Chains A and B, each alone.
Chain A
Protein backbone atom coordinates (compact mmCIF):
# COMPACT_ATOMS: atom_id res chain seq x y z
CA UNK A 1 0.00 0.00 0.00
CA UNK A 2 2.69 2.36 0.95
CA UNK A 3 4.44 1.32 -2.22
CA UNK A 4 1.61 2.63 -4.32
CA UNK A 5 1.54 5.93 -2.50
CA UNK A 6 5.28 6.25 -2.83
CA UNK A 7 5.13 5.47 -6.48
CA UNK A 8 2.27 7.88 -7.02
CA UNK A 9 4.09 10.71 -5.36
CA UNK A 10 7.21 10.29 -7.40
CA UNK A 11 5.30 9.66 -10.62
CA UNK A 12 3.54 12.91 -10.02
CA UNK A 13 6.88 14.53 -9.47
CA UNK A 14 8.25 13.22 -12.73
CA UNK A 15 5.21 14.42 -14.65
CA UNK A 16 5.33 17.86 -13.07
CA UNK A 17 8.92 18.18 -14.12
CA UNK A 18 8.14 17.10 -17.67
CA UNK A 19 5.22 19.48 -18.07
CA UNK A 20 7.22 22.30 -16.56
CA UNK A 21 9.84 21.80 -19.25
CA UNK A 22 7.24 22.90 -21.71
CA UNK A 23 6.52 26.25 -20.25
CA UNK A 24 9.85 27.42 -18.92
CA UNK A 25 11.58 29.91 -21.12
CA UNK A 26 15.20 29.92 -20.03
CA UNK A 27 17.07 26.75 -21.08
CA UNK A 28 18.75 26.61 -17.69
CA UNK A 29 15.40 26.30 -15.96
CA UNK A 30 14.34 23.67 -18.44
CA UNK A 31 17.45 21.71 -17.56
CA UNK A 32 16.69 21.96 -13.86
CA UNK A 33 13.16 20.69 -14.45
CA UNK A 34 14.59 17.75 -16.34
CA UNK A 35 16.96 17.01 -13.47
CA UNK A 36 13.96 16.97 -11.18
CA UNK A 37 12.22 14.47 -13.42
CA UNK A 38 15.29 12.27 -13.50
CA UNK A 39 15.66 12.26 -9.75
CA UNK A 40 12.03 11.23 -9.36
CA UNK A 41 12.65 8.42 -11.76
CA UNK A 42 15.66 7.34 -9.75
CA UNK A 43 13.44 7.13 -6.69
CA UNK A 44 10.98 5.01 -8.60
CA UNK A 45 13.73 2.63 -9.68
CA UNK A 46 14.87 2.31 -6.13
CA UNK A 47 11.35 1.53 -4.98
CA UNK A 48 11.14 -1.18 -7.63
CA UNK A 49 14.19 -2.81 -6.15
CA UNK A 50 16.67 -1.80 -8.83
CA UNK A 51 19.03 -0.03 -6.48
CA UNK A 52 22.03 -0.35 -8.75
CA UNK A 53 20.17 1.22 -11.60
CA UNK A 54 18.87 4.01 -9.43
CA UNK A 55 22.36 4.91 -8.35
CA UNK A 56 23.63 4.84 -11.87
CA UNK A 57 20.72 6.96 -13.02
CA UNK A 58 21.84 9.70 -10.68
CA UNK A 59 25.53 9.23 -11.34
CA UNK A 60 25.43 9.04 -15.11
CA UNK A 61 22.32 10.75 -16.22
CA UNK A 62 22.15 13.60 -13.78
CA UNK A 63 25.82 13.72 -12.89
CA UNK A 64 27.29 13.49 -16.39
CA UNK A 65 24.72 14.05 -19.05
CA UNK A 66 22.82 16.90 -17.51
CA UNK A 67 25.94 18.59 -16.23
CA UNK A 68 27.33 18.54 -19.72
CA UNK A 69 24.12 20.01 -21.03
CA UNK A 70 24.33 22.74 -18.46
CA UNK A 71 27.85 23.54 -19.58
CA UNK A 72 26.56 23.85 -23.11
CA UNK A 73 23.70 26.10 -22.01
CA UNK A 74 26.09 28.35 -20.18
CA UNK A 75 28.39 28.54 -23.20
CA UNK A 76 25.65 29.31 -25.65
CA UNK A 77 23.90 32.13 -24.01
CA UNK A 78 22.10 33.31 -27.10
CA UNK A 79 19.38 35.87 -26.78
CA UNK A 80 17.68 35.88 -30.11
CA UNK A 81 14.37 34.74 -31.45
CA UNK A 82 14.97 31.24 -30.10
CA UNK A 83 14.97 32.76 -26.64
CA UNK A 84 12.14 35.19 -26.87
CA UNK A 85 9.70 32.92 -28.60
CA UNK A 86 9.24 29.64 -26.85
CA UNK A 87 7.09 27.81 -29.30
CA UNK A 88 7.63 26.84 -32.93
CA UNK A 89 5.17 27.20 -35.78
CA UNK A 90 3.85 23.69 -35.24
CA UNK A 91 2.34 24.30 -31.80
CA UNK A 92 -1.21 23.41 -32.62
CA UNK A 93 -0.24 20.42 -34.71
CA UNK A 94 2.08 19.32 -31.93
CA UNK A 95 -0.65 19.48 -29.32
CA UNK A 96 -3.00 17.57 -31.56
CA UNK A 97 -0.30 14.97 -31.98
CA UNK A 98 0.11 14.86 -28.22
CA UNK A 99 -3.53 14.03 -27.66
CA UNK A 100 -3.45 11.49 -30.47
CA UNK A 101 -0.43 9.59 -29.26
CA UNK A 102 -1.52 9.71 -25.64
CA UNK A 103 -4.89 8.41 -26.64
CA UNK A 104 -3.41 5.53 -28.61
CA UNK A 105 -0.97 4.56 -25.87
CA UNK A 106 -3.53 4.70 -23.07
CA UNK A 107 -5.99 2.81 -25.18
CA UNK A 108 -3.41 0.15 -25.82
CA UNK A 109 -2.57 -0.02 -22.17
CA UNK A 110 -6.19 -0.40 -21.10
CA UNK A 111 -6.83 -3.17 -23.57
CA UNK A 112 -3.75 -5.09 -22.58
CA UNK A 113 -3.98 -8.19 -20.44
CA UNK A 114 -2.60 -7.98 -16.99
CA UNK A 115 1.01 -8.94 -16.85
CA UNK A 116 1.77 -12.04 -14.87
CA UNK A 117 4.44 -11.26 -12.38
CA UNK A 118 7.04 -13.92 -11.85
CA UNK A 119 7.97 -14.76 -8.28
CA UNK A 120 11.00 -12.74 -7.52
CA UNK A 121 13.50 -12.93 -4.76
CA UNK A 122 14.48 -9.67 -3.22
CA UNK A 123 18.13 -10.32 -3.65
CA UNK A 124 18.32 -10.65 -7.37
CA UNK A 125 19.15 -7.06 -8.02
CA UNK A 126 21.44 -6.54 -5.06
CA UNK A 127 24.69 -5.10 -6.15
CA UNK A 128 26.81 -8.13 -5.33
CA UNK A 129 24.68 -10.65 -7.15
CA UNK A 130 24.01 -8.27 -9.96
CA UNK A 131 27.67 -7.54 -10.49
CA UNK A 132 28.50 -11.22 -10.64
CA UNK A 133 25.80 -11.87 -13.20
CA UNK A 134 26.74 -8.77 -15.15
CA UNK A 135 30.41 -9.70 -15.50
CA UNK A 136 29.67 -13.37 -15.96
CA UNK A 137 26.98 -13.61 -18.56
CA UNK A 138 26.97 -10.18 -20.10
CA UNK A 139 30.62 -9.28 -20.24
CA UNK A 140 30.55 -9.11 -24.04
CA UNK A 141 28.08 -6.28 -23.95
CA UNK A 142 30.11 -4.58 -21.30
CA UNK A 143 33.14 -4.72 -23.58
CA UNK A 144 31.12 -3.48 -26.52
CA UNK A 145 29.86 -0.59 -24.44
CA UNK A 146 33.44 0.27 -23.62
CA UNK A 147 34.28 0.31 -27.32
CA UNK A 148 31.33 2.55 -27.96
CA UNK A 149 32.52 5.00 -25.35
CA UNK A 150 35.99 4.96 -26.82
CA UNK A 151 34.63 5.77 -30.24
CA UNK A 152 32.54 8.55 -28.82
CA UNK A 153 35.57 9.98 -27.11
CA UNK A 154 37.56 9.95 -30.33
CA UNK A 155 34.70 11.53 -32.21
CA UNK A 156 34.40 14.27 -29.66
CA UNK A 157 38.11 14.96 -29.87
CA UNK A 158 37.86 15.17 -33.65
CA UNK A 159 34.99 17.57 -33.44
CA UNK A 160 36.88 19.74 -30.98
CA UNK A 161 39.95 19.81 -33.23
CA UNK A 162 37.90 21.04 -36.13
CA UNK A 163 36.46 23.72 -33.98
CA UNK A 164 39.85 24.89 -32.87
CA UNK A 165 41.24 24.91 -36.40
CA UNK A 166 38.24 26.82 -37.62
CA UNK A 167 38.63 29.29 -34.79
CA UNK A 168 42.30 29.82 -35.60
CA UNK A 169 41.58 30.47 -39.25
CA UNK A 170 38.78 32.86 -38.37
CA UNK A 171 41.03 34.70 -35.95
CA UNK A 172 43.88 35.08 -38.44
CA UNK A 173 41.44 36.14 -41.11
CA UNK A 174 40.08 38.89 -38.92
CA UNK A 175 43.58 40.12 -38.16
CA UNK A 176 44.51 40.29 -41.82
CA UNK A 177 41.29 42.09 -42.58
CA UNK A 178 42.01 44.71 -39.97
CA UNK A 179 45.68 45.13 -40.69
Chain B
Protein backbone atom coordinates (compact mmCIF):
# COMPACT_ATOMS: atom_id res chain seq x y z
CA UNK B 1 0.00 0.00 0.00
CA UNK B 2 1.19 3.45 -0.69
CA UNK B 3 2.04 6.31 1.60
CA UNK B 4 -1.42 7.71 1.78
CA UNK B 5 -2.92 4.49 2.97
CA UNK B 6 -0.17 3.94 5.46
CA UNK B 7 -0.61 7.34 6.98
CA UNK B 8 -4.35 7.01 7.03
CA UNK B 9 -4.04 3.71 8.84
CA UNK B 10 -1.77 5.37 11.37
CA UNK B 11 -4.28 8.15 11.76
CA UNK B 12 -7.11 5.70 12.40
CA UNK B 13 -4.98 3.80 14.89
CA UNK B 14 -4.05 6.91 16.81
CA UNK B 15 -7.71 7.94 16.97
CA UNK B 16 -8.77 4.49 18.18
CA UNK B 17 -6.04 4.33 20.76
CA UNK B 18 -7.08 7.73 22.04
CA UNK B 19 -10.71 6.71 22.43
CA UNK B 20 -9.89 3.42 24.07
CA UNK B 21 -7.48 5.19 26.36
CA UNK B 22 -10.31 7.34 27.65
CA UNK B 23 -12.27 4.20 28.38
CA UNK B 24 -9.48 2.30 30.00
CA UNK B 25 -7.39 4.66 32.17
CA UNK B 26 -8.41 5.71 35.64
CA UNK B 27 -6.87 9.16 35.91
CA UNK B 28 -8.60 12.33 34.78
CA UNK B 29 -5.44 14.03 33.58
CA UNK B 30 -4.43 11.01 31.61
CA UNK B 31 -7.88 10.86 30.06
CA UNK B 32 -7.46 14.47 28.94
CA UNK B 33 -4.20 13.60 27.29
CA UNK B 34 -5.75 10.74 25.43
CA UNK B 35 -8.35 13.19 24.12
CA UNK B 36 -5.48 15.24 22.71
CA UNK B 37 -4.17 12.09 21.11
CA UNK B 38 -7.49 11.58 19.36
CA UNK B 39 -7.37 15.07 18.02
CA UNK B 40 -3.89 14.54 16.68
CA UNK B 41 -4.94 11.40 14.92
CA UNK B 42 -7.63 13.28 13.08
CA UNK B 43 -5.25 16.09 12.25
CA UNK B 44 -2.92 13.60 10.60
CA UNK B 45 -5.57 12.38 8.20
CA UNK B 46 -6.44 15.98 7.44
CA UNK B 47 -2.80 16.61 6.59
CA UNK B 48 -2.72 13.61 4.26
CA UNK B 49 -5.68 14.80 2.28
CA UNK B 50 -4.48 18.36 2.17
CA UNK B 51 -1.24 17.25 0.66
CA UNK B 52 -2.92 14.94 -1.82
CA UNK B 53 -5.42 17.45 -3.11
CA UNK B 54 -3.28 20.50 -2.81
CA UNK B 55 -5.89 22.79 -1.26
CA UNK B 56 -4.83 25.54 1.09
CA UNK B 57 -8.14 25.28 2.91
CA UNK B 58 -6.98 22.06 4.50
CA UNK B 59 -3.91 23.68 5.95
CA UNK B 60 -5.93 26.60 7.19
CA UNK B 61 -8.33 24.19 8.86
CA UNK B 62 -5.47 22.47 10.59
CA UNK B 63 -4.26 25.80 11.92
CA UNK B 64 -7.66 26.61 13.22
CA UNK B 65 -7.95 23.20 14.91
CA UNK B 66 -4.70 23.97 16.70
CA UNK B 67 -6.32 27.14 17.95
CA UNK B 68 -9.38 25.31 19.14
CA UNK B 69 -7.32 22.68 20.88
CA UNK B 70 -5.42 25.37 22.73
CA UNK B 71 -8.60 27.12 23.80
CA UNK B 72 -10.06 23.84 24.89
CA UNK B 73 -7.13 23.00 27.08
CA UNK B 74 -7.11 26.49 28.50
CA UNK B 75 -10.55 25.95 29.91
CA UNK B 76 -10.55 22.23 30.60
CA UNK B 77 -7.55 22.21 32.87
CA UNK B 78 -8.80 24.93 35.24
CA UNK B 79 -12.12 23.17 35.46
CA UNK B 80 -10.33 19.98 36.26
CA UNK B 81 -8.31 21.76 38.93
CA UNK B 82 -11.43 23.12 40.55
CA UNK B 83 -13.05 19.72 40.43
CA UNK B 84 -10.12 18.08 42.11
CA UNK B 85 -9.99 20.83 44.72
CA UNK B 86 -13.54 19.90 45.63
CA UNK B 87 -13.33 16.15 45.28
CA UNK B 88 -9.74 15.58 46.36
CA UNK B 89 -9.20 12.79 43.90
CA UNK B 90 -8.39 12.27 40.24
CA UNK B 91 -10.51 9.12 40.04
CA UNK B 92 -13.48 9.64 37.74
CA UNK B 93 -15.51 7.15 39.74
CA UNK B 94 -15.81 9.67 42.55
CA UNK B 95 -17.63 12.12 40.32
CA UNK B 96 -20.73 10.04 39.48
CA UNK B 97 -23.24 12.36 41.17
CA UNK B 98 -25.18 13.09 37.99
CA UNK B 99 -26.22 9.54 37.35
CA UNK B 100 -29.80 8.89 36.39
Q: A37-B37, A80-B89 are known contacts. Are A149 and B70 too (CB-CB below 8 A)? A: yes
Within 8 A of A (CB), among B3-18: 3-10, 12-18
Question: B77–A130 contact, CB under 8 A?
Answer: no
Listed in ascending order, the chain B residues whose CB lies under 8 Å from chain A are 2-10, 12-21, 23-30, 32-34, 36-37, 40, 43-44, 47-54, 56-57, 59-60, 62-64, 66-75, 77-82, 84-85, 88-93
Q: Interface of chain A, helix or strand or loop or mixed?
A: helix
Question: A61–B48 contact, CB under 8 A?
Answer: no
Question: A86–B89 contact, CB under 8 A?
Answer: no
Within 8 A of B (CB), among A52-85: 52-53, 56-57, 60-61, 64-66, 68-69, 71-73, 75-76, 78, 80-83, 85
Q: Which partner residue on chain A sits nearest B67 by CB separation? A: A145
Q: How far is the CB of A101 from chain B (nearest CB, A)?
A: 5
CB-CB under 8 A from B47, the residues of chain A are 44-45, 48, 50, 53
Listed in ascending order, the chain A residues whose CB lies under 8 Å from chain B are 3-4, 7-8, 11, 14-15, 18-19, 21-22, 27, 30-31, 34, 37-38, 41, 44-45, 48-50, 52-53, 56-57, 60-61, 64-66, 68-69, 71-73, 75-76, 78, 80-83, 85-88, 90-91, 93-95, 97-98, 101-102, 105-106, 109, 114-115, 117-121, 124-125, 130, 133-134, 137-138, 141, 145, 148-149, 151-153, 155-156, 159-160, 162-163, 166
By CB atoms of chain A within 10 A, which of B6, B57, B59, B66 has the most? B59
Question: A27–B82 contact, CB under 8 A?
Answer: no
CB-CB under 8 A from B52, the residues of chain A are 115, 117-118
CB-CB under 8 A from B20, the residues of chain A are 94-95, 97-98, 101
Q: How far is the CB of A73 from chain B (nearest CB, A)?
A: 6
Q: How far is the CB of A54 from chain B (nearest CB, A)?
A: 9
Question: B29–A76 contact, CB under 8 A?
Answer: yes
7 further contact pairs, Cβ within 8 A, besides A105-B9, A138-B56, A138-B57? A18-B14, A22-B17, A22-B24, A27-B30, A68-B77, A80-B90, A163-B81
Q: A118-B53, A159-B75 are known contacts. Are A102 and B12 too (CB-CB below 8 A)? A: yes
Q: A65-B73, A141-B60 are known contacts. Are A102 and B91 too (CB-CB below 8 A)? A: no
Q: A15-B13, A50-B50, A156-B75 are known contacts. Are A81 and B91 too (CB-CB below 8 A)? A: yes
CB-CB under 8 A from A61, the residues of chain B are 36, 40, 66, 69
CB-CB under 8 A from A56, the residues of chain B are 63, 66
Question: A14–B84 contact, CB under 8 A?
Answer: no
CB-CB under 8 A from A31, the residues of chain B are 33
